[in-house]
Amino acid sequence: MSTTAFSQSWVDTSLYPFENKYLRLEAGNVHYVDEGKGDIILFVHGTPTWSFLYRDFIKELSKENRCIALDHLGFGLSDKPDSATGTPEWHSDNLSEFIKKLDLQNITLIVHDFGGPIGLAAGIKNSERIKRVVLFNSWFWATDQRKDAEKINKIANSWFGKFMYLNMNFSVKVLLKKGFANKKNLSKEVHQQYINPFPDKNSRIPLLNLAKALVGSSDWYQKQWEQLDLLSDKEWLILWGTEDAFITMDNLEKWQKRLSNSKTKEFDCGHFVQEEATEASIKEITNFMNK
């Protein structure tokens, strides 16, 4: 297997001041940060982000907890496997291996976007290791009947979509920005930290793979949803951006209906609650863990 590890020289250590650690998985070397001591919080990102998304959460929550945040293979500072399916199923298997190799227990699992299906499916496989779940805007069920998902699926599987994703870095340069309700909340410096992991066409294949998997993995999502009972009795906190252009309010309603004992906090922001409602969502997690 051939992998490419990118230089870390582009990382702004004033924004992301953590020690870089690596764990060898079957599919490649995964980069992660492991800060603080105490109860374990495991942060799982989606696309096109990396563990940088949770930088402020790690800085604050690691004062009283052990905060672990990995970069999925193909993202952030992790290896970029030349040939990998790059599906949520594949990423979830990698995450499950990561959890077992570090022997993580009593985990507060924090997930977002594609990190929802990836993290929750790994959580189902390791349900005895999960104590709590914090859910940011995400989904965990069949997508093939959703018109919004089908629209994205057609683009992702077209020659035009492939060109935009691989040649124009469309996911990071355009879609990420669209995910902010207030574009002023995305500074040039922060945006650059999301752009840098994807400098060329090959490095952007993982982004295209997940875009195709929005509907391509629909059956798998549904199978996981049907096994959610393995996690539904845990403590759940839902932190939701109500102005999300991608994962809309009907998704929140579906979560609330399934997780009747969960607590929900809504924020007047877009898809990236972590960037637009940082302090407020950190406070909610702190209260949730200390109750």
pLDDT at 87 over 80: yes
The predicted-structure confidence for 247-289, as pLDDT tens digits, reads as follows 999 999 999 999 999 999 999 999 999 999 999 999 999 999 9
pLDDT tier, 7 (very low <50, low <70, confident <90, very high otherwise): low
pLDDT at 164 over 70: yes
pLDDT for 2 equals: 36
pLDDT tier, 151 (very low <50, low <70, confident <90, very high otherwise): confident
pLDDT for 161 equals: 94
pLDDT for 60 equals: 98
pLDDT for 4 equals: 44
C-alpha span between 284 and 289 (Å, rounded): 9
pTM (global) more than 0.85: yes
pLDDT for 244 equals: 97
The predicted-structure confidence for 50-69, as pLDDT tens digits, reads as follows 999 999 999 999 999 999 99
pLDDT tier, 198 (very low <50, low <70, confident <90, very high otherwise): very high
